[in-house]
Homo-oligomer: A and B are copies of this chain.
Protein backbone atom coordinates (compact mmCIF):
# COMPACT_ATOMS: atom_id res chain seq x y z
CA UNK A 1 0.00 0.00 0.00
CA UNK A 2 2.27 2.72 -1.25
CA UNK A 3 1.53 6.38 -1.51
CA UNK A 4 0.61 5.88 -5.16
CA UNK A 5 -2.93 4.78 -4.41
CA UNK A 6 -4.53 8.11 -3.99
CA UNK A 7 -6.41 7.56 -0.77
CA UNK A 8 -8.68 4.87 -2.16
CA UNK A 9 -8.37 1.72 -0.15
CA UNK A 10 -8.06 -1.47 -2.15
CA UNK A 11 -11.42 -2.54 -0.80
CA UNK A 12 -13.12 0.49 -2.26
CA UNK A 13 -11.35 0.06 -5.54
CA UNK A 14 -12.34 -3.59 -5.78
CA UNK A 15 -15.99 -2.82 -5.21
CA UNK A 16 -15.93 0.05 -7.65
CA UNK A 17 -14.28 -2.05 -10.34
CA UNK A 18 -16.74 -4.85 -9.72
CA UNK A 19 -19.66 -2.54 -10.24
CA UNK A 20 -18.07 -1.11 -13.36
CA UNK A 21 -17.44 -4.55 -14.81
CA UNK A 22 -20.96 -5.74 -14.06
CA UNK A 23 -22.45 -2.58 -15.47
CA UNK A 24 -20.35 -2.93 -18.62
CA UNK A 25 -21.57 -6.46 -19.21
CA UNK A 26 -25.23 -5.56 -18.74
CA UNK A 27 -25.20 -2.21 -20.51
CA UNK A 28 -23.52 -3.68 -23.57
CA UNK A 29 -25.77 -6.69 -23.57
CA UNK A 30 -29.13 -5.04 -22.92
CA UNK A 31 -28.65 -1.33 -23.47
CA UNK A 32 -29.02 1.55 -21.07
CA UNK A 33 -32.73 1.67 -20.41
CA UNK A 34 -33.23 -2.08 -20.22
CA UNK A 35 -30.58 -2.42 -17.53
CA UNK A 36 -31.84 -1.68 -14.04
CA UNK A 37 -29.62 -0.65 -11.20
CA UNK A 38 -30.90 -3.63 -9.26
CA UNK A 39 -29.71 -5.95 -12.01
CA UNK A 40 -26.27 -4.32 -11.95
CA UNK A 41 -26.05 -4.79 -8.19
CA UNK A 42 -27.01 -8.44 -8.48
CA UNK A 43 -24.49 -9.00 -11.26
CA UNK A 44 -21.78 -7.34 -9.21
CA UNK A 45 -22.68 -9.25 -6.07
CA UNK A 46 -23.38 -6.06 -4.22
CA UNK A 47 -26.26 -5.95 -1.80
CA UNK A 48 -27.17 -2.34 -1.45
CA UNK A 49 -27.87 0.51 -3.77
CA UNK A 50 -26.12 2.78 -1.35
CA UNK A 51 -22.85 1.16 -2.37
CA UNK A 52 -23.45 1.94 -6.00
CA UNK A 53 -24.46 5.52 -5.33
CA UNK A 54 -21.39 5.97 -3.18
CA UNK A 55 -19.24 5.68 -6.32
CA UNK A 56 -21.51 6.96 -9.05
CA UNK A 57 -23.84 9.89 -8.79
CA UNK A 58 -26.51 8.36 -10.96
CA UNK A 59 -27.25 5.63 -13.44
CA UNK A 60 -26.29 8.02 -16.22
CA UNK A 61 -22.95 8.71 -14.58
CA UNK A 62 -22.28 4.99 -14.31
CA UNK A 63 -23.17 4.56 -17.96
CA UNK A 64 -20.85 7.38 -18.93
CA UNK A 65 -18.06 5.85 -16.84
CA UNK A 66 -18.49 2.48 -18.53
CA UNK A 67 -18.49 3.87 -22.05
CA UNK A 68 -15.69 6.25 -21.20
CA UNK A 69 -13.57 3.31 -20.12
CA UNK A 70 -14.32 1.38 -23.29
CA UNK A 71 -13.60 4.42 -25.40
CA UNK A 72 -10.28 5.09 -23.76
CA UNK A 73 -8.77 1.67 -23.45
CA UNK A 74 -8.63 -0.17 -26.74
CA UNK A 75 -5.85 -2.57 -25.87
CA UNK A 76 -3.40 -3.24 -28.62
CA UNK A 77 -5.23 -1.23 -31.22
CA UNK A 78 -3.48 2.09 -31.07
CA UNK A 79 -0.33 0.36 -29.86
CA UNK A 80 0.12 -1.83 -32.90
CA UNK A 81 -1.19 0.66 -35.43
CA UNK A 82 0.31 3.92 -34.28
CA UNK A 83 3.73 2.35 -34.77
CA UNK A 84 3.22 1.73 -38.47
CA UNK A 85 6.21 3.18 -40.28
CA UNK A 86 5.86 5.73 -43.05
CA UNK A 87 5.84 3.89 -46.37
CA UNK A 88 9.12 3.61 -48.32
CA UNK A 89 7.79 1.77 -51.32
CA UNK A 90 4.62 0.19 -52.59
CA UNK A 91 5.43 -3.05 -50.85
CA UNK A 92 5.79 -1.41 -47.46
CA UNK A 93 2.64 0.59 -48.03
CA UNK A 94 0.69 -2.53 -48.87
CA UNK A 95 2.01 -4.25 -45.81
CA UNK A 96 1.08 -1.37 -43.51
CA UNK A 97 -2.37 -1.09 -45.00
CA UNK A 98 -2.93 -4.82 -44.75
CA UNK A 99 -1.87 -4.84 -41.13
CA UNK A 100 -4.16 -1.94 -40.37
CA UNK A 101 -7.10 -3.36 -42.27
CA UNK A 102 -6.80 -6.77 -40.65
CA UNK A 103 -6.48 -5.28 -37.20
CA UNK A 104 -9.46 -3.00 -37.69
CA UNK A 105 -11.61 -5.78 -39.09
CA UNK A 106 -10.72 -8.08 -36.24
CA UNK A 107 -11.38 -5.41 -33.66
CA UNK A 108 -14.70 -4.37 -35.13
CA UNK A 109 -16.06 -7.88 -35.23
CA UNK A 110 -15.33 -8.69 -31.62
CA UNK A 111 -18.58 -9.10 -29.69
CA UNK A 112 -17.63 -6.43 -27.18
CA UNK A 113 -16.86 -3.94 -29.88
CA UNK A 114 -20.03 -4.74 -31.80
CA UNK A 115 -22.05 -4.20 -28.64
CA UNK A 116 -20.20 -0.96 -27.96
CA UNK A 117 -20.95 0.27 -31.45
CA UNK A 118 -24.60 -0.64 -31.08
CA UNK A 119 -24.89 1.02 -27.69
CA UNK A 120 -23.15 4.16 -28.84
CA UNK A 121 -25.40 4.62 -31.82
CA UNK A 122 -28.50 3.78 -29.85
CA UNK A 123 -27.78 6.28 -27.11
CA UNK A 124 -26.00 8.98 -29.09
CA UNK A 125 -29.08 11.24 -29.13
CA UNK A 126 -29.40 11.08 -25.36
CA UNK A 127 -25.65 11.21 -24.65
CA UNK A 128 -24.17 13.31 -27.45
CA UNK A 129 -20.82 13.82 -25.80
CA UNK A 130 -20.33 10.08 -25.42
CA UNK A 131 -20.97 9.48 -29.09
CA UNK A 132 -18.62 12.26 -30.07
CA UNK A 133 -15.89 11.01 -27.76
CA UNK A 134 -16.20 7.49 -29.13
CA UNK A 135 -16.15 8.76 -32.67
CA UNK A 136 -13.00 10.77 -32.27
CA UNK A 137 -11.30 8.07 -30.21
CA UNK A 138 -11.89 5.11 -32.51
CA UNK A 139 -13.27 5.66 -36.00
CA UNK A 140 -11.60 9.02 -36.50
CA UNK A 141 -8.25 7.45 -35.65
CA UNK A 142 -8.74 4.90 -38.36
CA UNK A 143 -9.46 7.63 -40.87
CA UNK A 144 -6.42 9.58 -39.82
CA UNK A 145 -4.21 6.51 -39.92
CA UNK A 146 -5.21 5.25 -43.36
CA UNK A 147 -5.56 8.72 -44.83
CA UNK A 148 -2.12 9.64 -43.50
CA UNK A 149 -0.49 6.57 -44.98
CA UNK A 150 -2.02 7.28 -48.37
CA UNK A 151 -1.14 10.95 -48.39
CA UNK A 152 2.41 10.22 -47.33
CA UNK A 153 2.73 7.62 -50.08
CA UNK A 154 1.33 10.07 -52.58
CA UNK A 155 3.80 12.78 -51.62
CA UNK A 156 6.63 10.35 -52.15
CA UNK A 157 5.23 9.44 -55.59
CA UNK A 158 4.61 5.89 -54.47
CA UNK A 159 0.98 6.09 -55.50
CA UNK A 160 -0.96 8.47 -57.69
CA UNK A 161 -2.84 11.51 -56.57
CA UNK A 162 -6.46 10.73 -55.66
CA UNK A 163 -9.44 11.69 -53.58
CA UNK A 164 -8.00 10.18 -50.43
CA UNK A 165 -10.95 11.11 -48.30
CA UNK A 166 -13.16 8.95 -50.51
CA UNK A 167 -10.57 6.18 -50.80
CA UNK A 168 -10.16 5.99 -47.04
CA UNK A 169 -13.90 5.93 -46.47
CA UNK A 170 -14.22 3.10 -48.97
CA UNK A 171 -11.63 0.92 -47.28
CA UNK A 172 -12.87 1.53 -43.76
CA UNK A 173 -16.47 1.50 -44.86
CA UNK A 174 -15.95 -1.82 -46.57
CA UNK A 175 -14.65 -3.25 -43.32
CA UNK A 176 -17.42 -1.52 -41.43
CA UNK A 177 -20.03 -3.17 -43.59
CA UNK A 178 -19.25 -6.49 -41.95
CA UNK A 179 -19.88 -5.04 -38.53
CA UNK A 180 -23.14 -3.51 -39.68
CA UNK A 181 -24.33 -6.83 -41.01
CA UNK A 182 -23.52 -8.44 -37.69
CA UNK A 183 -25.40 -5.72 -35.86
CA UNK A 184 -28.55 -6.10 -37.91
CA UNK A 185 -28.57 -9.86 -38.24
CA UNK A 186 -26.85 -11.02 -35.07
CA UNK A 187 -24.90 -14.21 -35.54
CA UNK A 188 -27.40 -15.61 -38.01
CA UNK A 189 -25.10 -18.13 -39.60
CA UNK A 190 -23.08 -15.11 -40.65
CA UNK A 191 -19.67 -16.38 -39.75
CA UNK A 192 -17.21 -13.62 -38.96
CA UNK A 193 -15.23 -12.40 -41.95
CA UNK A 194 -11.77 -13.83 -42.46
CA UNK A 195 -8.67 -11.63 -42.64
CA UNK A 196 -8.43 -12.25 -46.38
CA UNK A 197 -11.46 -9.97 -46.77
CA UNK A 198 -9.30 -7.16 -45.46
CA UNK A 199 -6.51 -8.17 -47.81
CA UNK A 200 -8.87 -8.16 -50.77
CA UNK A 201 -10.01 -4.64 -49.98
CA UNK A 202 -6.49 -3.32 -49.64
CA UNK A 203 -5.71 -4.93 -52.95
CA UNK A 204 -8.62 -3.25 -54.70
CA UNK A 205 -7.82 0.04 -53.11
CA UNK A 206 -4.19 -0.06 -54.21
CA UNK A 207 -5.28 -1.00 -57.70
CA UNK A 208 -7.33 2.18 -57.80
CA UNK A 209 -4.53 4.46 -56.67
CA UNK A 210 -1.76 2.86 -58.72
CA UNK A 211 -3.57 2.87 -62.08
CA UNK A 212 -2.67 5.52 -64.61
CA UNK A 213 -5.35 7.96 -65.65
CA UNK A 214 -7.74 5.99 -67.78
CA UNK A 215 -9.09 8.66 -70.06
CA UNK A 216 -12.71 7.78 -69.52
CA UNK A 217 -15.03 10.66 -68.93
Q: List chain A positions with a Cβ less than 8 A from chain B.
A: 29-31, 33-34, 90-91, 94, 118, 120-122, 124-126, 128, 131-132, 134-135, 139, 162-163, 166-167, 169-178, 180-181, 183-186, 188, 197, 200-201, 203-212, 214, 216-217
Contact = CB atoms under 8 A, between A and B. Distances in A.
Given A132-B185, A169-B177, 16 more contacts: A118-B122, A122-B122, A128-B185, A131-B185, A135-B184, A163-B203, A166-B174, A166-B197, A167-B204, A170-B170, A173-B177, A176-B177, A205-B208, A206-B214, A207-B209, A210-B216
Indicate how many identical chains form the complex.
Answer: 2
A182 to B, nearest CB: 10
A82 to B, nearest CB: 21
Contacts of A126: 34
B204 A162 contact: yes
Contacts of A139: 180-181, 184
Contacts of A166: 174, 197, 200-201, 204
Given A208-B204, A216-B94, A216-B206, A180 B171 contact: no
Contacts of A205: 170, 208
Given A197-B166, A200-B163, A207-B208, A184 B34 contact: no
B174 A169 contact: yes
Contacts of A183: 121, 124, 131
A207 B214 contact: yes
19 contacts: A91-B216, A94-B216, A94-B217, A120-B184, A121-B122, A122-B122, A124-B185, A128-B185, A132-B185, A135-B184, A135-B185, A166-B201, A169-B178, A172-B177, A176-B176, A176-B177, A180-B180, A210-B214, A211-B211
